[in-house]
Amino acid sequence: SPPFDINLVRQDFPILKEKVNGKPLIWLDNAATTQKPQSVIDRIAYFYQHENSNIHRAAHELAARATDAYEAARQKVQSFLNAFSPDEIIFVRGATEAINLVAKSWGEQNLNSGDEIIVSHLEHHANIVPWQQLAERKGLKLKVIPVDEDGQVILSEYAKLLGPKTKLVSFTQVSNALGTVTPAKQIVEMAHLAGAKVLVDGAQSVSHMKVDVQALNCDWFVFSGHKVYGPTGIGVVYGKQALLNDTQPWQGGGNMIMDVTFEHTTYHNAPARFEAGTGNIADAVGLGAAIDYVNRIGMDLIYQYEHHLLVYATRLLKEIPGLRLIGTAQDKASVLSFVLEGYRTEEVGKALNQEGIAVRSGHHCAQPILRRFGVEATVRPSLAFYNTCGEIDILVATLHKLRSAKPLSFR
């Protein structure tokens, strides 16, 4: 049984009371986005009802309230990631914008023709395309850490890719397509020994495990608020303070400047340096409330319970004839990716939707890793702490029914 009161937890998420096709909603699309607890919804409404103002600039009561709420959210993110200083936390739109920020600022300024960037075969398109664009513009080389048959990165192959030309290693802590948890600390250490900087994509990790950026010792860490029970449109770049202040901003405008003349502009240090214009104040505050919520349950208990769900679901899915699970690494979080013989992935998704079950079927914005396993798409249930073994039973029963509706081919 769960290490917390699952019924109470589920009551915190109003959307879980929805019906879909007359059935109770079973939300198993958590890798795409998570649902929001009432406390997050209320916090955003409270901001607009009692605190709404632009921040920093004006000297009146509501500006002070909005600024305090925004900066309090930054501190919550700081302690959530165990960053050294709140000045290392930059608010952006999401993980995608976060990676683009690093590519268009640090990458643009520091990488030159012949330099090499290493990513893993597991990456989301958000951690491939910005580097590819930069590589095309600057004549850089993009190298890829291969994965084994279980979908885990092969460290011995990674070691061979590292060299004096390696300037950046950018990789995901948890794969959104397979659920693989990568050996992040080791990947970071090996990159640093080669003299490269490291970006960790935490879009799929922060909601499932404790993250400590100082222990990880990465140079940047990025994530999206909406995948950790916060609102859409808000995300984070963590960067080491000295590195951020050594990097020129990527966008110019209000808020980020110290002084402007027509001849010359001087910039603030981070975080303001990278927060040009009016940011998403209300949703940053909402993200702070989401972190409070997660902390109240406790990341250790979340990890423990979700692991139990994952093991349970994996065992039952493996018993379905003709179901091929893709991503079988020892260390996994949340994600179960599979194909069902005789069915297109959309057909499976539609059949599950008939039963109120929401999963993603498609390429999950990670085409290279799916092609590595010879498929263009998978069905992808992904778990969160508000899911139950009962929900998994309904998923599995529906798949068994689908399975028996069509005979298996001879093998």
Q: How far is the CB of 60 from ligand PMP (least distance, A)?
A: 34
Q: Which is nearer to ligand PMP, 2 or 233 (CB)?
A: 233
Active site (annotated) includes residue 389: no
One-letter amino acid of 381: P
User: Environment class of residue 382 by beta-carbon count within 10 Å: exposed (0-12), middle (13-18) or buried (19+)?
Assistant: buried
201 near ligand PMP, rule: CB under 6 A: yes
Report 343-372 residues binding ligand PMP (CB under 6 A). Answer: 365
Q: Which is nearer to ligand PMP, 267 or 274 (CB)?
A: 274
Q: Which of 207, 224, 280, 337 binds ligand PMP (CB under 6 A)?
A: 224
203 near ligand PMP, rule: CB under 6 A: yes
Angle at Cα 104 formed by Cα 181 and Cα 205, nearest 5°? 15
The CB density around residue 353, as the number of other CB atoms within 10 Å, is 15
Q: Find residue 118's DSSP bridge partners.
A: 143, 169
29 near ligand PMP, rule: CB under 6 A: no
Q: Which is nearer to ligand PMP, 201 or 283 (CB)?
A: 201
Q: Which is nearer to ligand PMP, 95 or 291 (CB)?
A: 95
* From 365, 373, 375, 400, the catalytic residue: 365
Q: Which is nearer to ligand PMP, 121 or 124 (CB)?
A: 124
Q: Could you give the CA distance from residue 89 to residue 77 in angstroms, rounded to a whole number?
A: 7
Site string for ligand PMP, 121-140 (x = CB under 6 A): ---x-xx-------------
30 near ligand PMP, rule: CB under 6 A: no
378 near ligand PMP, rule: CB under 6 A: no
The stretch among 21-29, 88-96, 111-119, 376-384 that binds ligand PMP (CB under 6 A) is: 88-96
- Which residues form the catalytic set? 365
Provide the binding-site residues for ligand PMP, judged by CB under 6 A: 94-96, 124, 126-127, 172, 176, 201, 203-204, 224, 365
